[in-house]
Structure 1
Amino acid sequence: MPAVDVANADSALRRELYFFTLYRLLEAALLVFVLFGPIDGLVGEPRHDIFARSLSLAYLALAALLFAFGRRGDLQGQALAGIATDLAFGILAIHAVPGAGTGIALMLMFNVGAAALLLRTRYGLGMALVAVLGIIGEFAWTSLVEESEGRRLAEPIMFSIGYLAIATLTSVLGRQMRAAHALAEHRGHETAHLVEVNELIIRRLRTGVLLVDGHNRVRLANEAATLLLGEAGDGQRTLDVALPELAERLAAWREGAIASDAPLQVSPDQPEVVPRFTRLLAGSDQTLVFLDDTSLAARRAESLTLATLGRFSASLAHEIRNPLAAINYAVQLLEESDDIRPADRRLLEIVRQQGSRMNGIIENVLGLARREPAKPEHVELVALARHFIDEYAASHPLEDDSLRATGSEARITAMFDPRQLHQVLTVLVHNALLYGRLPGEPARIQLNVHRDANGTPLVDVLDRGPGIPEQVAQQLFRPFFTTSGHGTGLGLYIARELCRGNQASLDHVPMPGGGSCFRIRMAAGEASRNHPGARPGTAPTARTPGQR
Structure 2
Amino acid sequence: MQLSGGEQRAEPLRYLNLFRLILAGVFLVAGRLLQLGADSPVVFVAASFAYMAAILILGFRDAERLLGLDRLVSLQVVVDITLLTIIMWASGGYRSGIPILLLVALAGAGLVGQGRMVLFYAAYATVAVLLENAYRWLAGRDAADFVTVGITCIGFFAIAQVARLLAQRALANEDLARRRGADLANQLRLNRQIIQDMQDGVLVVGEGAEVHQFNPQAIALLGTPLREGERLHDCAPALARELARKDALGVSAHSMRAEGSGKMLLVRFLPAGEADDTLIYLEDFDRIHRQIQQVKLAALGRLTASIAHEIRNPLASVSQAAELLADEKRSEMQARLIRIIGNNAQRIDRLVGDVLALGRRDEALPEALPLEAFIDEFLDEFQLAGGAAVEGVVVSQVPPTLSFAMDRTHLRQILWNLVGNARRHSSGGQGAVRIQASALDDGRVILEVADDGPGIAEALRGQIFEPFFTTHSKGTGLGLYIARELAEANGASLELCPADGGGARFRITGRAKP
What TM-score range do you get, normalising by the shorter chain? Answer: 0.7 to 0.9
Given the superposition, is the C-alpha separation of residues 133 and 484 from structure 1 closer, same or farther in structure 2, using an over 3 Å criterion? farther
In the TM superposition, residue 261 of structure 1 has moved relative to its aligned partner by 0.8
TM-score, L = length of structure 2: 0.75
Q: How many residues align?
A: 497
Bigger CA drift: 133-142 or 147-156?
147-156
Q: How much has 1:305 moved relative to structure 2?
A: 1.8
Q: Is residue 24 of structure 2 the alignment partner of residue 36 of structure 1?
A: no
Q: What is the alpha-carbon distance in structure 2 between the residues aligned to residue 522 and residue 80 of structure 1?
A: 70
Deviation at 1:295, TM superposition (A): 1.9
Structure 1 ranges of 4+ moved more than 6 A: 30-34, 59-63, 69-78, 340-343, 348-356, 375-379, 409-418, 441-445, 453-457, 480-488, 521-525
1:296 Cα deviation after fit: 2.0
Say whether residues 1:90 and 2:73 are aligned partners: no
Deviations 1:93-132 (CA, angstroms, capped at 9, x unpaired):
4323446538432442232022111223354334323212
For residue 142 of structure 1, report the CA deviation from its aligned partner: 2.4
- Identify the range of structure 1 (371-380 vs 345-354) with the bigger mean alpha-carbon deviation: 345-354
User: Which of 121, 143, 162 lines up with 1:127 in the alignment?
Assistant: 121
How far residue 259 of structure 1 moved from its aligned partner, in angstroms, is: 3.7
1:462 aligns with 2:455: no
Structure 1 SS opposite 2:254: coil
Per the alignment, in what secondary structure is the counterpart of residue 297 of structure 1? helix
Kept in 1: contact 2:16–2:108 (CA 8 A): no
The corresponding residue for 1:273 is 265
1:503-530 Cα deviation digits (max 9, x unpaired): 76544344633111235578889xxxxx
Contact 2:437 2:447 in 1 (8 A): yes
Cα distance, 1:202 vs. partner? 0.9
Question: Is the 2:2–2:179 contact (alpha carbons within 8 Å) kept by the matching residues of 1?
Answer: no
Which residue does 1:406 correspond to in 2? 395
Q: Is 1:293 paired with 2:284?
A: yes
Alignment of 1:68-107 (within 5 A): 83-98=77-92, 100-101=94-95, 103-107=97-101
Give CA-to-partner distance per residue, 1:135-184, whole Å, 9 cap, x none. Answer: 2321332234x244733444444443432343233223323322332232
Q: Give the whole-Å Cα distance in 1 for the aligned partners of 2:48 and 2:187.
A: 56
Residues 61-91 of structure 1: per-residue CA shift (max 9 Å, x gap): 789x88xx89999687886676445423431
**Secondary structure of residue in 1 paired with 2:203:** strand
**Contact 1:429 / 1:445 at 8 angstroms: preserved in 2?**
no
Asked if residue 5 in structure 1 is aligned to residue 8 in structure 2, the reply is no
Shift of the 484–11 alpha-carbon distance from structure 1 to 2, 3 Å rule, reads: farther
Which structure would you say has the larger RCO, counting Cα contacts within 8 Å and 6 or more residues apart? 1
> For structure 1, which runs of at least 5 residues remain unmatched after alignment?
38-42, 526-548
8 Å CA contact 1:328–1:355 kept in 2: the answer is: no
Deviations along 1:337-360, whole A, 9 cap, x unmatched? 666799959959878876775664
**What pairs with 1:502-517 in structure 2 (closer than 5 Å)?**
506-510=494-498, 512-517=500-505
Q: Percent identity?
A: 26
The 8 Å contact of residues 380 and 414 in structure 1, kept in 2 or not, is answered as no
**2:480 is the alignment partner of 1:492:** yes
- 1-side partners of 2:399 and 2:250: how far apart? 73
Distance in 2, Cα, partners of 1:114 & 1:456: 72
TM-superposition CA deviations, 1:177-208 (whole Å, max 9, x none): 22332232222222212211211111121211
Q: CA RMSD in A?
A: 5.0
Q: 1:18 aligns with which of 2, 15, 18?
A: 15
- Normalised by the length of structure 1, the TM-score is 0.71
Aligned ranges 1:71-220 → 2 under 5 Å? 83-98=77-92, 100-101=94-95, 103-121=97-115, 123-144=117-138, 146-148=139-141, 150-220=143-213
Runs of at least 5 residues in structure 2 that lack an aligned partner in the other structure: none
The AA in structure 1 aligned to 2:480 is L
Q: 1:242 deviation in Å?
A: 1.2
Higher helix share: 2
Q: Within 1, Cα distance between the matches of 2:374 and 2:107?
A: 91
Taking the aligned partners of 1:105 and 1:424, their CA distance within structure 2 comes to 96
Cα gap change, 1:504 to 1:127, in 2 (>3 Å):
closer
1:36/1:428 Cα in 2 relative to 1: closer, same or farther (>3 Å)? closer
1:253 alignment counterpart: 246
In structure 2, C-alpha distance between the alignment counterparts of 1:520 and 1:464, rounded to whole Å:
20
Distance of 1:408 and 1:124 partners within structure 2: 86
CA distance in 2, matches of 1:520, 1:51: 98
* Residues 441-450 or 93-102, more deviating: 441-450
Distance across 1 between alignment mates of 2:156 and 2:143: 22
